[in-house]
Amino acid sequence: MELFNNKGKTAIVTGGGSGIGKTAAHTLAESGASVALIGRTAEKVEKAAAEISEATGSEVKGYSGDVTNTSDIERVVKTINNDFGQIDILVNNAGTAAFKDINSLTEDDWDTVMNTNAKSIFFMTQAVAPYMKEQSYGRIINTASVAGEVSLSFSSVYGTSKAAAIHQTKQLALELAPYNITVNAISPWFFKTDLNEEALADDSFRSAIEDRSPMKRLGQLEELQSSILYLASSGSSYVSGQNIFIDGGMTSYGL
């Protein structure tokens, strides 16, 4: 459908080398967009870019950059704009976690998680906004989490960072709405990625996650694609400041 065709658009995906970011990048490339992946490790994002490009036929490039560093953000966003000529879509997906409670969390843990999951959203958006304002068009998607809505016993700071991501979605949507730039978020429950693979290898932990999920299973990465495509396309032109839970009903769980 034409509403969900992103041919002629350019998308940036942070943390695009694996997991949810790679899924988002593949989805956007498949819809016709040219895609720039940003990640700390050049080899990883370049490999992912080559795989996605081969699979979809779209132009996909990898760029190394630290999205917690404002100088790095400014450099890589400027380079991407010069290479592609425009920036239409931004997926703020870079993320990390510290599976620790109040008794073991360190200041370094706090700073790393908050900078990666919350600070990067604001400053990546600040960097791309001028390009989007100039063309009076933009789609921004932030990867939040159900942990930003409900408390998880095994991570004090992760949920705090994702709550910040959800609120930033609302705040940035308000500020950028006059320029025809929408800002929305997706909040997944547990999908197996590099970030949580080790935790999910613990059978008791995985069972607890599955038991807490009304559908009694983890999410599959392809189940994120339709929401990402919707929020990235012209089909969502009057939707902004929203957060979509993709959680198998977890946040609606009652007794």
Catalytic residues: 158
Query: What one-character-per-residue DSSP string does the chain give?
Result: -GGG--TT-EEEEETTTSHHHHHHHHHHHHTT-EEEEEES-HHHHHHHHHHHHHHH-S-EEEEE--TT-HHHHHHHHHHHHHHHS---EEEE---------TTT--HHHHHHHHIIIIIHHHHHHHHHHHHHHHHT-EEEEEE--GGGTS--TT-HHHHHHHHHHHHHHHHHHHHHGGGTEEEEEEEE--B--TTTHHHHTSHHHHHHHHHHSTTSSPBPGGGGHHHHHHHHSGGGTT--S-EEEESTTGGG---
Q: How far apart are CA 221 and CA 26, in angstroms?
A: 11
